[in-house]
Structure 1
């Protein structure tokens, strides 16, 4: 669905992403892990057009053919079907939960220029928004303002916003960040659910979550891929243990 070749981003003398070759397959849940400063968020910014690469290429498969999106702006990558949630909360706080999703759905449709018209004028987007809210477990909160939600529910809303427009690829940047331990299970269930019909690239620091939900784990360190494979293989990789895991063992493992 999404692939890069030699993808590189330099900021002056700093190489944040260094020659990354990567491919995300259809319906695959791949976690991207690594220490702080490894280049994970920069990699997301490159994939979604927020940053332009210094070198290398990015391609996305749409309608059965590969399209070069190396220099595409964010709105084009989104329209092609690559959507993203953010590490920092990114919602309209004074709008209702329904309106947040409705606006996102409309922005991906044919009425993007009229996103702030009365919601009743766009029944199809309201229907889509309600279906998404049902999927992410927030339908009962449809008329609640976003600022009134718990942090965990806000994270669920952000995933809902990313689902608007039915993307092919979801990039989820630390969806569990700041979520209470009581709410982590809801977020895990939601990640696993959306991965049933989307390709998902997940950045997550909670290694128990990574090991539980991932089909595949890619490890970045100093902008380079140092491991790529099934979770159990990556966990036991000596280079990954040195760079990031530091003796981590999954809870409950023998």
Structure 2
């Protein structure tokens, strides 16, 4: 478990859909600076868990609390909207690439930066030069994610791996305290997986990160901590080596996964 003053904490978090319990009484805490992977078989409740943390879904019962860096103490975000959680510093990406395809790479990030500057968000009729500081921030983010040379390209012309990097850049807009990444290497070529993984590790140097991921080489290679969900229940929560050796996790999910010692995160071994 994490420290007594976590960045994010849930208590008894539960979401039911009719007779199905997708997330079942989950107590969870994340420390500032952690890189935590959430794994589990299909239908385990991973994306539902993310949706509850970010206000996309309301829990049937339980609470979610967040500790923004610009406030003292925790904020109850159980009933907050996605927009409210984002403004507090809890940002996320999605399984499906979510960018404006016909807009330039730079504009995709610039729009995200504007969206997280509360007072400027809806001032569409101002002169574009009034947003020079937004462009400066967007350009800084593009440098970090390795897409500065593609700034003027329409986002739809990027490779799938580059689009995933762009999504991380969009999630970085507003300098969040916590990034939630939903399958950041899904659909990415083996050549690009290493690039996306290196970017996640770089971002983790100054941001807390939670990610849902099926590529076990990525999970075991970069995570400080691995949380395993099965049928909505949290069945394991420890360091990668301990989780890999857990009999309960082997039965529920990892099956035949073996760490072959390869350092190439692009090997693409998956489980589930």
Alignment match, 1:60: 66
Alignment match, 1:18: 24
Aligned counterpart in structure 2 of residue 42 of structure 1, from 43, 48, 64: 48
Gap regions ≥5 residues in structure 2: 1-6, 263-272
Distance in 2, matches of 1:233 and 1:177, equals: 25
1:135 and 2:175 aligned: no
Alignment match, 2:249: 240
Q: Is 1:103–1:115's contact at 8 Å kept on the other side of the alignment?
A: no
Count of residues in correspondence between the two structures: 253
1:1-254 equivalence runs, <5 A: 1-62=7-68, 63-109=71-117, 110-114=119-123, 119-252=128-261
Q: Give the structure-1-normalised TM-score.
A: 0.97
Q: 1:116 Cα shift?
A: 7.6
Distance in 2, matches of 1:231 and 1:64, equals: 32
Gap regions ≥5 residues in structure 1: none
The DSSP-based 3-state class of the residue aligned with 1:217 is strand
Residues 107-147 of structure 1, C-alpha deviations (whole Å, 9 max, x = no match): 00020012586543301100000000000000000000000
Distance in 2, matches of 1:95 and 1:56, equals: 40
Distance in 2, matches of 1:205 and 1:114, equals: 40
Alignment match, 2:270: none
- Cα-Cα RMSD: 1.1
Q: 1:251 Cα shift?
A: 2.2
Q: Is 1:102–1:119's contact at 8 Å kept on the other side of the alignment?
A: no
